[in-house]
Structures are given as structure tokens and as C-alpha cells.
Structure 1
Amino acid sequence: MQRSSEYVDLQVNGYLGVDFNSDQLTAEDLHTACAAIRESGVAGILATIITDHMEVMVARLSRLRQLHEADPLVRETVWGIHIEGPFINREKGYVGAHPPDAVRPANLDDAKKLVEAAGGLARLVTLAPEGDQGMQVTRFLADAGVRVSAGHCNPSLEQLRAAIDAGLTLFTHLGNGCPAQVDRHDNIIQRVLSLADQLIVCWIADGIHVPFMALANYLKCVDFDRSLVVSDAISAAGLGPGRYSLGEHEVIVDENLSTCMDGDTSHLAGSATSLPQMAAKLRDQLGLTEQQVQTLCCGTPRRVLGL
């Protein structure tokens, strides 16, 4: 039975050497990863499938759905799927570790294919509002009961407001999925913070993706009940430094658990830190209370999922 105090992670790409975006994902591998995730103190996750060519994403979603149906432990652990892409911003910096050649504008036909392939497991989709003409895809997903999050994007303030009106409710890992150098005032971080009373904002709290000094400032701007922490864990989580896979790419994890893809150090490629490890950092580095940590790592994520 799940305890309400156990952590809930809405963005997990893999764990313990298992890559959820691998075309060779096996039932045994997924079972092993889920068992380790639960042993770590995480009750449930959204397994995350990232940007790739449509036929590849559809195949990976279908495979994950089939494995989910066949294994009770996987069903207990994987509470749904987070589809991150392919409807994101392809510009350098915003695209992050996603393959630019697979990025495409949001469109209803592809959105329907992805949701259908997930077979009812699609719980969250991250997209770029500026690529969603008339916010049609945002509205379609929201009407279908799928949470919509902006991320890897650079919408104007007006586009963000229009997306919120259409059903956008979250922002994916603020402070990441954007260039290292941005306009000092008019940038995606400031725009989201200006709408913090209308969005739930997700953070990667490993101290690498967002320095703790900056995270402390952000948490003064966004109420705790509108903030949550995700791990954005890749297959290195639970293991440590080394070479791992994310889809068809190699990710190198250094001694500080910083990640880079295919030797490109210009951006991070997911996290090698688990959600329980991040919770400990929130207590130790930021001095958060246990209640505050529970809100970020359990309460708000559960509320996002309607639990």
C-alpha cells in the first residue's frame, strides 16, 4: 500500500542503469528499475518519454504501455507517462538535450497519435506554447484530462497567458531548458515568475541544474503549494559516475553527478540524482522543514495527478 508521505516524481527518464527511452527496454529491466525506485522511498513516478521522431516515440509509448499492463509492480510504481516533446522549441539552448531534428510544431494529428499510443497512461505533456497555433493542442490535451506543462520554450507573456486560458497548468523545470545567457529582464524565467499565481512550477533540485542560492530565491517568489520538485532522472540515477544512455545518445556523468550528452558540455542532459537525494539536499542546503520538503516532493505532485 502506498503511504501518502512517500515521494512522487513526475519526471523520470530512467533509473539504475535502465533507460525508459531505450528501444531495447525489457520487462525485466523495467521491473528492476521500479523495484529500486520504490525501495528508495518513491511511491510513484511518471515515466518520461522524450523527443524523437514520431514513429519512434509512438513505438516507445506503446512498448511502455504493454509492459505496464503485464507487471503488477510496474503498475504500482508507474502512475502514468510524461511526454516531454516533440512539440518544443528547437532553438539552441531551449531545445536542451532533445534532438533538434525531431522537434516539430504542436499539431492535433501527432498529439492524438501520442495520446493513443500511451493508452490512457498519458498524464502530462510538456510543450512550447509559442508553437501551438491557437493553443489547439493545449486545449485538446486539457479537455482529454492530460495535464499540460510549458517547457523547453520561449513564449511571450501574452502567449503564456493564452496557453493558461486554454488549459496550461504547469511549467517544466524552470531555470533549465533555456539558454545560459538570456535578456536580463525579459526572459522566460521572469515571465513565468510573473504568472506564478496561475502556474505550478517544477524545479530540479540537485544544486547543479539550479544553484541552491537561485532556488532559494525562486521559492520566495512561488508559493510552496505551487512548487514541486522533479528529479528528471536518467539511467545513471541510483548508480553514480559513468557512461549511460538516453535514447540513442551517450550521457557522461562526472564525479559531481553533472551530466553531458555526447561530450557536449554546453547543456545538461537530465539528472543523476534521485528524488530522495534531492529531498535531503533541500533539508541540508536550504534548511527547509520536513513539511516543506513533503509539499515539494509529495503533496503538490500528488495534487497535480488528482490524488
Structure 2
Amino acid sequence: MSITLSDARIVTPDGVHHGWLTIEDGRITHVGQGPAPGNGHGLGGLIIVPGFVDIHVHGGGGAGYPAGSADQARRVVGFHRRHGTTTALASLVTAPLERLKAAAAMLAGLCAEGLLAGIHYEGPYISAARCGAHRPELLREPSVTEFAELIKAGDGHVRMFTLAPELPSALDAVRECVDSGVIAAIGHTDATFEQAMAAIDLGASVATHLFNAMRPLNHRDPGPITAAMVDERVTVEIVNDDVHLHPSVIDLVLSAVPGTRVTFITDAMDAAGMPDGDFDLGPMKVEVRSGVARLAGGGSIAGSTLTMDAAFRRGVQTNGLTLPEAARVTSLTPAHVLGLADEIGSITTGKYADLVLLDDTLTVQSVMKRGTWLTPPPGTP
């Protein structure tokens, strides 16, 4: 089946072009400028961007991955797809090991279906001093044996593991990540610059929500933030929700770190898309007030209520990114992190047709996954 979308502003890595594209068997076969040859589905000048790729998300739409329920996981996927996320990891939080392994086994089945791109363990091998919304009594020192069990539970679908490199045996865990084909991420850490660099030298390649739950940057104690920003081997995650980071800090990162090493994430939890109220994040109780999620009793920030389309909008409207720059940090760079950039992440011939249609306010109008409309545009046959 062939689909031609015409009269659109198409955002590609090299610019924004008014034109058309053709899709066959779920892949983009042609991208052209000007009027489409033959008949196409006219989009009235809508903007087409690549489907968003979220490498750090816990929940949304009133459901969460840490709950270990396949029904909840499907609801999370559906919610974020409506907001333009066509590829995502399922992020778990610190919990008892057996609960983590059970959740990973359930999520592995959804990965095998193609609903998810993999599993992300955030904890339990993180710093008590920087634990944020993770339950302190459940934190553990890394064990290579335990680590191997957690990887095995994901049945080949564990893609990323966040840990604190200063913990005993943490560097052994980084080595195990690399040997297992799992992305080692530095996060929830009180590491010094030198400790962070030791992990990077062994293959750690992502900084989990840069600045948040990390030893602060100091002019004589640069810490993990500086290590991640200056090392070209590391991609830094940014939660662009006006809560986790001041906009000027995001501007600083965007000016200091190439967009090829910056990825926006949501770090969303169950409350994304829901009214204020009380929610769970794994074993932790969370209060959401005015859209801000914190541990019950006014504690640490506990994930976000962000969606990737909102992060994209903020990148353009608040941080001054061009549309191609915003597409890079919400699609292409995270696709590179996952090793999927040959298949997704940009509007390029040969890649899957994972597409998001936006209006002039950058609000999602329609979403396509591999050439199939999840939310079709008006007038679609």
C-alpha cells in the first residue's frame, strides 16, 4: 500500500521543506519539494516531524510501568503515542529485586510485540545521598551476580541501566553493561569528576536527567555534570518541563553540548495527562499539585507530568531551537542512543514512517507509526 502526504512543511535534518512524501510498506520511499506528483492526501500546510523517541519514561495517563501490570503498560504506551512518542523505553524505579525481575519479565513480552523499544532500570544501584524519589532502604551496592539476574529477567530487552559509579563494584557493573550490550547510564550519583570519568572510560554513555539527583557542579569540584557535558562519548538527558531545570540552564547545556549529544526525555510518571491528585511511583507515594509531582509531604521531585510534544514545543518556544534542532533532540539523538537511527529518528528515505503532524502552535494533530495512522488526520480515506 502506498500513501502520499502532500502540501506539508516537512522537517528533515537539513531544514524545513514545503512538499510531499510517499510511504510504502511502512517506510518512507520519497521526500520531495513542491507539489506532489499525482494525487496525495493534502495536509493544508501542517508540519511533519519524526515520531518522538523517549528513552526515560515511567508512566502516563494514570498508569505506570513499575506497577508490573501489562494492562497498565499498554495504557502508558497508548497515552504517550497520542502525544507523538512512537518509540520508548519502559523505565522502572528502585524496588525489591523480585518485583523488578517480575516487572521486567512482563515488559519483555510487550517489547517482543513491538510496543516498547526496551527496558530501563533506574536503580537500585544508586546513591542514597542523591536518591530523589527512590526509597532509600531499597538501595543496594552493585552485585555482578544480581545485575546479571536483572538483565536475564528482561529476556534480551534490557536497553539501559542507571547506576552511581562511586558505589563499590559499580565499575564492574558498567563493564557488565557494556559486555551485555546494555547502555550504562550515570545517574542519582554523588560521584566526583574522576569517578564519573572512570565509568565513562569503561563505556558509560548516558547521563540520566542531567543536574537532577547529581552532585552539583562546583568550580573546584566539577563532578559528574561537567564530566558528562565535556566528554564527547556521553549523551545527556534533559527534562524540559520548567520544573526540573531553569530554562537558562537548558540554554546553557544547548549552547555548550552539541545537539548530537542532547536528548530531551519526559521522566513522566502516572500523573502525566491527569488532574492533580495522589499517585504511586513504584513503592513511593507521590502528590501532584499544579502539575508538579513530588514525594508525599513536600519531598523530592518525583518524575514529571511532561509529554514529548510539550518538551518539543518548549524547545522551540522557550529555548529558541529551530524545528530541525528540536526534532534532533526529541527524535534523532535518542534514536542514536538506542542504536536505531538507521530505522527511525528522522524523515529520511528508507526509514520507518514514524511521523507526527503538528499545527502552527506545535500541537499534535495526528500520529503515524510505521505507516499506520494511530490518530489519523481529518479526511483520511
TM-score with structure 1 length normalisation? 0.90
Aligned counterpart in structure 2 of residue 79 of structure 1, from 98, 117, 126: 117
Matched, 1:14 2:59: yes
Structure 2 equivalent of residue 260 of structure 1: 294
Structure 1 equivalent of residue 253 of structure 2: 218
In 2, distance between residues paired with 1:61 and 1:139?
21
Counterpart contact for 2:127–2:167, Cα < 8 Å: yes
Aligned counterpart in structure 1 of residue 94 of structure 2, from 42, 51, 55: 51
Matched, 1:230 2:275: no
What are the superposed Cα offsets for residues 191-243 of structure 1, whole Å, 9 maximum, x if unpaired? 33563323111111111101111110121111110111110000111224222
In the TM superposition, 1:51-200 aligns within 5 A as 51-69=94-112, 72=113, 75=114, 77-91=115-129, 94-133=130-169, 135-178=171-214, 183=218, 185-188=220-223, 190-192=225-227, 195-200=230-235
Q: Which has the higher strand share?
A: 2
Structure 2 equivalent of residue 35 of structure 1: 78
What are the superposed Cα offsets for residues 126-185 of structure 1, whole Å, 9 maximum, x if unpaired? 111111537211111111111111000122222222212211111110110136x77564
More displaced, 198-207 or 29-38? Answer: 29-38
In 2, distance between residues paired with 1:156 and 1:214?
21
Counterpart contact for 2:61–2:76, Cα < 8 Å: yes
2:296 is matched by which residue type in structure 1?
D
Question: Structure 1 37/225 Cα, relative in aligned 2: closer, same or farther at 3 Å?
Answer: same
More displaced, 56-65 or 296-305? Answer: 56-65
Structure 2 equivalent of residue 273 of structure 1: 306
2:71 is matched by which residue type in structure 1?
E
Structure 1 equivalent of residue 8 of structure 2: none
In 2, distance between residues paired with 1:46 and 1:190?
23
Counterpart contact for 2:65–2:76, Cα < 8 Å: no
2:252 is matched by which residue type in structure 1?
N
How many residue pairs end up in the alignment?
295
Give the structure with higher Rg (CA): 2
Q: Which has the higher helix share?
A: 1
Question: Structure 1 189/206 Cα, relative in aligned 2: closer, same or farther at 3 Å?
Answer: farther
Is there any run of 5+ residues in structure 2 with no aligned partner, and where?
A: 1-25, 29-48, 341-381
More displaced, 200-209 or 2-11? Answer: 2-11
In 1, distance between residues paired with 2:27 and 2:213?
32
| Distance apart, 1:306 and its partner CA | 0.8
How much identity, in percent, do the aligned residues show?
28
Question: Structure 1 2/274 Cα, relative in aligned 2: closer, same or farther at 3 Å?
Answer: farther
Counterpart contact for 1:89–1:131, Cα < 8 Å: yes
Q: Secondary structure at the match of 2:128?
A: coil
More displaced, 237-246 or 150-159? Answer: 237-246
What are the superposed Cα offsets for residues 256-277 of structure 1, whole Å, 9 maximum, x if unpaired? x211112233x20000111111
Cα RMSD of the aligned pairs, angstroms, is 2.0
Q: Secondary structure at the match of 1:12?
A: coil
Question: Structure 1 134/250 Cα, relative in aligned 2: closer, same or farther at 3 Å?
Answer: closer
Matched, 1:203 2:238: yes
In 1, distance between residues paired with 2:27 and 2:269?
24
Counterpart contact for 1:193–1:222, Cα < 8 Å: no
